[in-house]
Structure formats: C-alpha cells, structure tokens
Amino acid sequence: MTQEWFESADLEKKSPQSKSEIQPDEPETLETVETEPQASEEIPVSPEESETHEEEAPETIEETQTEEEGEGKAEEEHNQENSVKEKSILSKALESPYIPDIDPRKTARLKEEIALFWTWLLDAIQEPTASKTTDQKHRYSVFALLTLLSSINLFFSIYHIKRLYYGYMISIANGSPNQLPPLDLFAGLSILVASALFYFSIILGGFTVRRVLDQESDFTFQEAFDRYSRLFAIPLVLTALASFFALFGGLRFAGILTLLSMAIFALGNLFVISKPSKTSSLDPFYRFLLAVLLDGAILFPFFIAELALTVDYLRILTFF
C-alpha cells in the first residue's frame, strides 16, 4: 500500500510540471496561428505609393497611344514612300525613249491640219475642176486615204461574205475548204497594194496623155496629182461611207456606194483625158480616141497586176 501511495504521489507532482511545461508552448502556437492570417491578408499600401501607381497608369496608356500613333505614322510614311516610288517609276517609264512624249504643239498642229483638210474637201466637192494653190498640201493625203479606205471596204466585204456563205462555197469547191484563200495579213497587204496600184494607174494615165498627145512639157506629175485630187473628193466621201458599212456588215449599201464611186472615177478620168489642149493640132475626135487608147494601154498592165494580187479574194465576191 505504501508503495502505491508513493507512486501516486509522484504522478501528482509530475502532472503540474507537465502542465507548466505545456502551457508556455500554447501561446507560441497561438502566435503562429495569428501571424499566418496576417501574412495572408494584403499588405497595406501607403497613399503616396497609390498616387504614384495612379500617375503611372495614364502614363502607360499615353505611351501605348503614342506607340500606336507612331506605328500608324510609320505605315503612312511607308505607303507614301511606295506611292512616290511608283510615281517615279511611271515617270521614268514615260520618259523612256521607246514611249514618245505627247507634245501639245503637235496635237494642236494635227487639229489644224484636219480642219484645213476638211475645208479643202468641202471646197473640192463644190468645185472639182478648179485649180488652187491649196491643192498642193492635200494631193498625197487624198491618195493615201483612198487607198486605205478602199482596202478596208474590200477586205471586210470579203470577210463578211465568206462568213455568211462559207458552207455554200465549200460545197461548190468540192468539199475542200483549202481551195478558199485565208483572210490573213498577207491578204490585207495584197488588197492594199492593189488599191494603191489602181489609183496610181489612173493618175499616171492622165499624166501620160497630157505629156504625149498634148505635148505639154511643163505639165508635171505633181500637177496631175493636184488635178485628180479634186476630182477624187466626191469618191473619197463615198468610199468612206462604203468602208463604214462594209466594216459592220452592211454589204448592200457598201456595194452600191462602191459602184457609185467607181463610176465617178471613170467619168473624172474621162473628163481629164478628153479635155484638149490649146496647143494641140489634132482633131478633137481623133484626139479623144487616141487619148482613150493610150490611157487604156497604161491601165491594162496595172489591171493585170491588181488581178494577180486579188483574184483569189475577188472570187468570194461572186457568191454574194
């Protein structure tokens, strides 16, 4: 019993010591628990720091805006530089020797020449047999225009007839389309040369009659051009209208106008060669007969050359 009592007494003595040892540890744990939520809480910021943060925020916004504006300006400058470079390239291309510069003086001169030619054409239609100094400027213009317009008239007339009656022409040509000539660049050049030979032969025939039969040594080839240029004024207008209708497929109108112009050509040529000279000693009838024969002798070889150039294409006209 005594032993058990002593053991219980020892336990009682140890228990307050253990309590005393445990109690000082408890505030430390409390302090740690209290410090942890304080650490988890936000750190208080001073008003000065908050003001500095507020000042820095608009500054950063302004910096971003200025950066965006600077990028926009840089893009605009880059686009302007590209446009300036393109303009400089275009200007250099226009200054190239292969592209001639348009001179306003040349265009004004061209307009003036067209106006002068128009006034001359109207005067030549009113007085075909008159002789004026203004004929010298337009003698070759009439010849060139007649050649070009006649070529356009004939070429497009053949083109439209061939397109309309192609099947019928093949059936007549024994089903072989190779017998039909193609309308290519060579065909256009052949028709152009034939037209030039036709008008040149008329002028040459009139010149030969005046120099051989009438023995006018002062009558030059340029004077023959001047005289025929006025006589060709009316056929020039008719041929222009015929080429217009032929270009758009009006073959009947083109054919009628072409026949009228050819008739006026023949009458004009006959008028020139039949007009006797003052120095001619031949009888007017024999003089007229010889003039027709001589003019026919000049026209015939040119006519053969014209047929040789265009006979394959003129065959197509027979189908219309």
Calculate what percentage of the chain has a pLDDT beyond 90: 28
H-only helix segments in 23-46:
25-40
H/E run at residue 271:
helix 251-274
pLDDT of amino acid 78: 63
List, in order, residues 6 or more apart from 286 with CB less than 8 Å away: none
Inter-residue long-range contacts of 278-282, CB under 8 Å, 24+ positions, other chains counted: 279/214, 279/215, 279/216, 280/213, 280/214, 280/215, 282/213
pLDDT confidence of residue 153: 94
pLDDT at 56: 46
pLDDT value for 164: 77
- Amino acid 79: pLDDT: 66
C-alpha span between 140 and 231 (Å, rounded):
13
Q: How far apart are CA 312 and CA 304, in angstroms?
A: 13
Asked if residues 302 and 200 have their Cβ atoms less than 8 Å apart, the reply is yes
Residue 315 has a pLDDT of: 79
Give the global pTM.
0.64
Question: Which amino acid would we find at residue 278?
Answer: K
The CA distance from 300 to 202, in Å, is 11
Residues 6+ apart with CB under 8 A from 285: none
pLDDT at 67: 57
**CA–CA dist 208, 229 (Å, integer):** 17
CB 230 within 8 A of CB 129: yes
Return all residues near 136 (Cβ < 8 A) that are at least 6 apart.
Answer: 222, 226
Rg (CA), the chain: 54
Per-residue pLDDT of the chain (320 residues; tens, 9 = 90+): 444 444 444 544 444 444 444 444 444 443 444 444 444 444 444 444 444 444 444 445 555 555 556 566 666 666 666 665 555 555 554 455 555 556 677 778 888 888 888 998 998 899 888 877 666 778 888 999 999 999 999 999 988 888 877 666 666 655 555 566 778 888 899 999 999 999 999 999 999 998 888 887 888 888 888 889 889 999 999 999 999 999 998 889 999 999 999 999 999 999 988 887 777 777 888 888 999 999 999 999 999 999 999 888 887 777 65
Token pair of 94 as six digits: 């226009």
What pLDDT score does 150 carry? 94
Q: How far is CA 197 from the centre of its chain?
A: 32
Q: What angle do CA 234, 235, 240 make, to 5 degrees?
A: 105
